[in-house]
Amino acid sequence: MSAQSFPHPHPSTARRKIAEALFKGLGLCSLAIAVGTLVLLFGALVFQGVSRIDWQFLMSYPSRHAGQAGILPAWVGSTLIMLVTAVVGVPLGVGAAIYLEEYARRTWMTELIEVTVTNLAGVPSIIYGLLALGLFVYIMGLGESILVAGLTLALLILPVVIVTTREAIRAIPVEIREAAYALGATKWQTVAHHVLPYSAAGILTGIILALSRAIGETAPIVTIGALTFIAFLPPAPFTTHPPYISFDWLLSPFTVMPIQMFGWVSRPGEDFAGNAAAAGVLLVGMTLTMNGVAIYLRYRMRKQVTW
């Protein structure tokens, strides 16, 4: 067969292939720059702070001497605040998303609520701090406490949880709902037994993103009166006498790890900078641990649910 039987590629086809190769190379370079920058920054943080992390650093209170300073009140405060945030913000966000997506009628009021929730997801965090200062501290008189900090961060993550949960529910095919209704299931049975199990992985993804944002927030926490130096722990949530549970810790003053890091960075001297780097490594570790648990649960749910 002669060479004339195989026509040459059209010039436009060759240009598209070149453009595709250039775009692929540009995307690869962008990924390499982003990941490389992240690895370098985190590597420098670990290199500077990992030698400072030990049992004494984890279980000691802050001090004017860098070698004796610890981060015990900060990581305890962060843990308790995230507990309040998750207990309050996650159920409210998921419940609101289920109502808006499955039960609410399409009226101008629901449309206004949807637009408002979407816009609130992009509001700067300092606005939530000012709102919490006026509502929880001044009007309700709850003081500068762990409860107020948890409620503030719950308000912060609420729009994110609502939006991501609605998107996860919306991704479930309508045929699943119709099949459940055809078999005589009620609205709640359809939602509880079919829609939520299938959308659980997507809902958990939204919760991961929301809590990851909350644990590193500083502006709203500072606004409501978090302490930069604290030498005591909140009361224990469990007691040795009936009813064996205490909620006094909810009204206790607090500090969190980002604020403790800022306090150390603002001090002169390399030792305090090393303490701040060590606290940064611990904060990243807490975030990764929290996300790892959620990712594991999401993976298990995806394996158990079949279409």
pLDDT digits (tens, 9 = 90+) for 143-155: 888 999 999 999 9
Mean pLDDT rounded to a whole number for the chain: 84
Q: Is the pLDDT reported for residue 212 higher than 60?
A: yes
- Domain hosting 20: range is 8-50
| Per-residue confidence (pLDDT) for residue 102, from 0 to 100 | 87
**Position 242 in a domain:** yes
Residues 85, 211: one domain?
yes
Check if the beta carbon of residue 90 is closer than 8 Å to that of residue 207: yes
Residues 25, 83: one domain?
no
Q: Is the pLDDT reported for residue 176 higher than 90?
A: no
Task: Read off the pLDDT of each residue in 108-124 and give the average, rounded to a whole number.
Answer: 84
**Position 281 in a domain:** yes
Residue 238 φ then ψ, to 5°: -120, 145
Q: What is the CA radius of gyration of the chain?
A: 25
Cβ neighbours for 144, distance < 8 A, ≥ 6 positions apart? 137, 224, 225, 226, 227, 253, 254
Cβ neighbours for 18, distance < 8 A, ≥ 6 positions apart? none
**Position 3 in a domain:** no
Residues 147, 266: one domain?
yes
Q: Is the pLDDT reported for residue 195 higher than 80?
A: yes
**Position 1 in a domain:** no
| Per-residue confidence (pLDDT) for residue 88, from 0 to 100 | 93
Q: Is the pLDDT reported for residue 60 higher than 90?
A: no
Q: Please give the model's pTM, rounded to 2 decimal places.
A: 0.82
Q: Return d(Cα 196, Cα 246) in angstroms, integer.
A: 34
| Per-residue confidence (pLDDT) for residue 92, from 0 to 100 | 93
**Position 237 in a domain:** yes
| Per-residue confidence (pLDDT) for residue 232, from 0 to 100 | 81
Q: Which of 5-19, 73-87, 102-116 has the highest mean predicted lDDT (pLDDT)? A: 73-87
Total tally of structural domains belonging to the chain = 2
